[in-house]
Amino acid sequence: MSVSKQATAGPYVVLDPTGERSLPIRERLARPSTLEGLDLALLDISKARGDVFMDRLETLFAERGARVKRFSKPTFTKPAPPDVRRQIAEECAAVVEALAD
């Protein structure tokens, strides 16, 4: 398969039905090599007992030198509001989003 903005030579050309976010393959950020001194977001989706899980994660990350910041979504049924996402992206190097169910 070849992909381009233009129609390309080939026996069969179709229009991409997707949001075009995944081709070419989306690169992930490199994993942090250490937690020491890292600003780390913990995002609670607001499902029952997610806070218990988050509290434990915070303890474990703090023991390893990360500076933990806590965030939460108003409701687990909807995506995180843009402001929360923006704040996490601006303030933190990594995020852990936890689901308890």
Partner 1 sequence: MSDSPRPPLPSGLVAFVKRDCPTCELVVPVLERLAGDAALTIYCQDDPSFPEGAGAVDDTTLERSWHHGIETVPTLLAVDEGIERARTEGWDREEWERLSGLSELGAELPAFRPGCGSLSVDPEHALDLAVRFGADTMKSRRVAFAAQEDEVEAAFERGWTDGLPVVPPTERRVLAMLQGTRRKPDEVVAVVPPDLVECTVEKVAINAVMAGCRPEYLPVVLAAVEAACTEQFNMHGLLATTMPAGPVIIVNGPIRRAIGMNSGRNVFGQGNRANSTIGRALQLVVRNVGGGRPGEVDRATFGNPGKVSFCFAEDEEGSPWGPLSADLGAEPGVSTVTLFPGEGPRIIVDQLSREPESLARSYAANLRTLIHPKLVLAFDCVLAIGPEHARVFREAGWSKAQITDRLHELLLIPKEELVQGAGGITEGIPPEVPAPALPKFRPGGILLVYCGGDAGLFSTMIGGWVTGDTGSQTTLREIRP
Report the interface residues with partner 1, using CB under 8 A. 1-23, 75, 77-79, 101
Considering beta carbons, is residue 12 or 28 the nearer one to partner 1?
12
d(CA 66, CA 68): 6
Distance of closest approach, residue 42 Cβ to partner 1, in angstroms: 20
Considering beta carbons, is residue 5 or 28 the nearer one to partner 1?
5
Paired strand residues for 67: 39
d(CA 78, CA 47): 12
Considering beta carbons, is residue 1 or 30 the nearer one to partner 1?
1
Q: Reply yes or no: is the peptide bond before residue 24 cis, omega within 30 of 0.
A: yes
Distance of closest approach, residue 85 Cβ to partner 1, in angstroms: 10
Q: Which residue has the tokens 């704040």?
A: 87
